Structure 1
């Protein structure tokens, strides 16, 4: 009888571990999915900013107007 109890308790412990591991896997998957979405948004924003910097660098090479007031005005 103690052998049956031991086997039953070991089986219960293994089942609890599997449930805990399944929950951990789901939590990790949710975290990875959220991080991936954030990375995609940041990559898109970086591309936009890179385009703006390139455009600003290109327009800075053009001649500035002669009668432009100083920046402190």
Structure 2
């Protein structure tokens, strides 16, 4: 195999690797956006739960279990 052919093969591999890295990066960015959105939703749900517990929590905590 000639030096020119080896260099061409390496350049071809590098181009494919660059494409693969870019595709993986795009997927990672999309997943990070999803994770951030889910974290915001969880925070909103926790806040809502705390508000609900503040309104009804004391009564439910002192109530006997349903099997009594």
Q: TM-score range by the shorter chain?
A: 0.7 to 0.9
**Ranges in structure 1 where 5+ consecutive residues have no aligned partner:** 64-73
Which is greater in Rg? 1
1:17 positional shift? 0.7
Q: Where do 4+ consecutive residues of structure 1 move more than 2 Å?
A: none
Runs (5+) with no aligned partner, structure 2: 60-68
Once residues 62 and 16 of structure 1 are traced to their aligned partners in structure 2, the CA distance between those partners, rounded to angstroms, is 68
TM-score, scaled to structure 1: 0.73
Question: 1:62, 1:43 → 2: CA distance?
Answer: 28
Indicate which of 36, 40, 45 corresponds to 1:44. Answer: 40
How far apart in 1 are the matches of 2:3 and 2:32?
Answer: 43
**Greater fraction helix:** 2
How many residue pairs get matched?
59
TM-score, length-scaled by structure 2: 0.78
- RMSD between aligned residues: 1.6
